[in-house]
Amino acid sequence: MDDFGQLSIRVLSTSLLAYVAYVAWQWHRLSHIPGPFWASLSKFWMVKQSLNKRQPLAFKEMTDKYGTLVRVGPNDLVTDDPEVLRRMMAVRSDYTRGHFYNAMKFEPGKDNLFSMRDEVAHMTLRNKMAAGYSGKENESMEGTIDAQIAGLVDLIQAKYLSTPEHVIPMDIGHKTQYFTLDVISALAFGRPFGYLTKDEDVFDYIKITETYIPIMLTLSNVPWLADLLHSRFLRGLLPKESDKLGFGAFIGVAKAVVQDRFANASKPQPDMLGSFIRNGLTADEACGESLLQVIAGSDTSATTIRAVMLYLIKNPSMYSKIQAEIDQGILTGAISSPIKDSEARNMPYLQAAIKEGLRILPPAPNGMFKQVPPQGDVISGTFIPGGTQIGSCALGIHHSKKIFGPDADSFRPERWLEADAARVAEMTNTVDLVFHYGKYQCLGKNVAWMEFNKVFVELLRVFDFALVQPDKEVKISNGGLWVVEDFWVKVTRRGL
């Protein structure tokens, strides 16, 4: 063998030994945390669960089996302890966003508020945006949501009302997302994209989202792949503003609207984008955050609306209770037309049903991994080395029998009305974690709650809903976001 061949063998052998030593070291540093063995050696276990669209369920299976802190990757843990999550996300916490967020960029190489891992930059941008989300600088927020609910009601009345002689099936899964997309685009850009008026998937957004989001969440398990995709060599594969469909088309629309606003800065508008501009966002930042609003705010809100409607329709006694509460509110004058957000907050059964919807299908059940500070941390008496990634087991948290009772896997609004004040407070604080907490709390929380507080009342005061095929299960899967398929309903006009 010549000298070159011998050198190649030595290099290969050295590289192999170095790799084995690295894997052994990485396994050892978290070997005191239980979990599936193969997950401790490679990311394959996490990627497999993600590709099979069951990662949130798999995380829950692991916490049920191994305990409240489980190893799911070479450097990755998940927890179903709400208190640990609050510690990690507290305003003064030393924890930072983990490598998971590298995959959360929607434009090539550009961070948004959700993907940003620089803590100082994140807080600076967040502070500039807070007023727009709170409604303080967007007084038309409630009216905007009312207008889109009216659009949804009009669409149903015009095209999808059934009679005893003629059933017109409606895919309520799609229609609710049309509604949330029009709400968030109207809030973000001052005008809706027109999903409800056109009654179609504008830009093929839903179709492409159901393909792209699972890919993005799979890449979040292998951050170096996400970094490679956003590199200058491969970023051409990502959505771009010249695309006619999907995220790329949304980027193009966002940039056009933002450019127009900056060109006409002397005519400020009282919406979110106007607030962002007034508070100092650059054109690139305003575009990125408006795009984030649409992507993050539509699918998640639609998930909760679908969940509440599905479980109410499947449980006639619950359906009757919420409809009776609505009817009583109308009779006594406690409910306006359209209902006010403040009025809806005083409807106990409605609030209980919304919380159950948020809990039973947590809208964003991904790991959302945070990074342990360099000095490490002690969790439940166990030392966790610095740099470890700790994620949320959302289903484990929100289906906790300890917190929500032995029937925690079931949708049952009554649990909120039967519990004492201390238990209700604990359950409420836990459900609030679907919007995250502290320095990472979702700025869109108020918007989402306003949608929920209004849409169920307005739909159920006017219509009756029933499954077209009650014996056929609605398909629910999770590829990062919940995908609800075959949710076909029959809608009839109530005889009020």
18 occurs within a structural domain: no
pLDDT at residue 124, rounded to an integer? 95
How far the first Cα of the chain sits from its last, in Å, is 93
What's the Cα-to-Cα distance from 451 to each of 153, 198, 200, 311, 436, rounded to whole Å?
14, 21, 21, 18, 18
Task: Tell me the three state secondary structure of residue 382.
Answer: strand
pLDDT at residue 20, rounded to an integer? 65
What φ, ψ does residue 104 adopt, rounded to 5°?
Answer: -95, 15
Other C-beta atoms lying within 10 Å of the C-beta of residue 45: 24
166 occurs within a structural domain: yes
What would the two tokens of residue 313 be? 């329709």
11 occurs within a structural domain: no
Please tell me the total count of domains within the chain.
Answer: 1
Per residue of the chain (496 residues), give pLDDT as tens: 566 566 566 666 666 666 566 566 676 789 999 999 999 999 999 999 998 889 999 999 999 999 999 999 999 999 999 999 999 999 999 999 999 998 888 777 788 999 999 999 999 999 999 888 877 767 788 999 999 999 999 999 999 999 988 999 999 999 999 999 999 989 888 889 999 999 999 888 888 777 777 777 888 888 888 788 777 766 666 667 777 776 777 778 888 888 888 888 767 777 888 888 888 999 888 888 888 888 888 889 999 999 999 999 999 999 999 999 999 999 999 999 999 999 999 999 999 999 999 999 999 899 999 999 999 999 989 999 999 999 999 999 999 999 999 999 999 999 999 999 999 999 999 999 999 999 999 999 999 999 999 999 999 999 999 999 998 999 898 877 888 889 999 999 997 5
Other C-beta atoms lying within 10 Å of the C-beta of residue 110: 15
Range of the domain at 214: 32-493
Q: What angle do CA 376, 379, 382 make, to 5 degrees?
A: 80
pLDDT at residue 403, rounded to an integer? 98
- The residues facing 467 across adjacent strands are 489
CATH number, residue 225? 1.10.630.10
pLDDT at residue 293, rounded to an integer? 84
Residue 442 in marked binding region: yes
Q: What angle do CA 289, 290, 291 make, to 5 degrees?
A: 90
467 occurs within a structural domain: yes
Residue whose C-alpha is closest to residue 245's, from 209, 203, 195, 212? 203
Residue whose C-alpha is closest to residue 85's, from 368, 310, 313, 294? 368
27 occurs within a structural domain: no
19 occurs within a structural domain: no
409 occurs within a structural domain: yes
* Strand duo 482-485 + 389-392: pairing: unpaired
User: How far apart are alpha carbons 163 and 494 in whole angstroms?
Assistant: 11
User: How far apart are alpha carbons 249 and 181 in whole angstroms?
Assistant: 14
pLDDT at residue 212, rounded to an integer? 75
Burial of 496 (0-12, 13-18, 19+ CB in 10 A): exposed
pLDDT at residue 11, rounded to an integer? 61
DSSP 415-437: HHHHS-HHHHHHHHHHHGGGG--
- pTM comes to 0.93
165 occurs within a structural domain: yes
Residue whose C-alpha is closest to residue 182's, from 160, 218, 211, 150? 150
Angle, in degrees to the nearest 10, between helices 283-314 and 445-462: 40
pLDDT at residue 170, rounded to an integer? 97
